Amino acid sequence: MRIVMMGTGLFAEPTFEALLAAKKDVVGLVTQPDKHVGSERGSTRQVGKGMKAIAQAAGVPVFQPDSVNTPDGVAGLTAWKPDLLVVAAYGQILSRDVLGVPAQGGVNVHASLLPKYRGAAPIHWAIWHGETETGVTIIRMSVALDAGDMLAQEAVPIGPDETSGEVEARLAVLGARLALDVVGKMEQGPVTGSKQDPARVTKAPKMTKAHGLIDWSRPATTIGCHVRAMQPWPTAFTFLHHAGPATRLIVGKTTHRPAQPGESGQPGELLTTDASRLQVVAGDGAIVEIVEVQPAGKRRMTAREFLLGHKLQRGDRLGPEATE
């Protein structure tokens, strides 16, 4: 079976490497054009070996079209005469023309328990919404986004302190195992899957930097989930309003606890009872403690280190940059 791998980034690498290690007939790799992701100063995107580097080391031809859905893209793919596409986090929605090139269509390695969290950021949204488990689903690809028949699925727990990056690393390995198993079965003959229940569909749209803004009117547990979901990218952030201009802070890690007697305030208000701790009132009255923070243009540091140069005063608070 002639296989073309399509994928970009850390999540796709284990699947590609598993196909190569199993001596599958991988005749080409389609990946996104080089953009030096993660090389910029201060970037928080996770990077691995690089799909292109893995392909070159294995002698696999590489195709990097701006869009694989153009006539040139389809022609480049067709030239490899693939029987199957194996897709993992490629970064483009594939057209009917692309999916029609291989004789057996394509399978996609998706990082959720479909039909929940269809879309580009399933891990982020699962953690954002406080899910305690997620998983990987291998689906037969269709024109509709993440809507194909499910060929394999396996669930794993989400740890109470795990970030999106940590969960992604685990799911990438799981996805590789499931994908290799499905490909092996397809080599033996037709494989049937199960339909997704349309009543259970939820969406996981692409994340942007704007999603990182913390809403302190939400409950403390929800804020904690938000911060974990945003790590390592696009990162959660807020603005410190005190003497002088507002200071943008990237929030890397938090904990939360019930409020003690005498600890109260409006959402976003900072407690000044302990000058060595960065503690803020959440929307439900509970207390969120910021453990790790990164001021704009500076290194990541502990809250204690940050407070050595920023003495809190009564009325200081966190919130959006603009104030009413």
Q: Domain locations in the chain? A: 2-200, 209-319
- Cα separations (Å) of 225 from 154, 196, 200, 228, 313? 23, 27, 22, 5, 28
Res 266 pLDDT > 50: yes
pTM for this one? 0.93
pLDDT tens by residue, 56-98 = 999 999 999 999 999 999 999 999 999 999 999 999 999 999 9
Res 249 pLDDT > 60: yes
Establish whether domains 2-200 and 209-319 are of one fold: no
CATH T-level fold of 209-319: Methionyl-tRNA Fmet Formyltransferase; Chain A, domain 2 (3.10.25)
Tokens representing residue 180 in the block: 């290799």
Res 44 pLDDT > 60: no
Cis peptide before 258 (omega within 30 of 0): no
CATH T-level fold of 2-200: Rossmann fold (3.40.50)
d(CA 264, CA 191): 59
pLDDT tens by residue, 131-176 = 999 999 999 999 999 999 999 999 999 999 999 999 999 999 999 9
Reported as type and span, the H/E element at residue 186 is helix 164-188
Tokens representing residue 100 in the block: 């029609």
Range of lowest pLDDT (102-106, 139-143, 313-317): 313-317
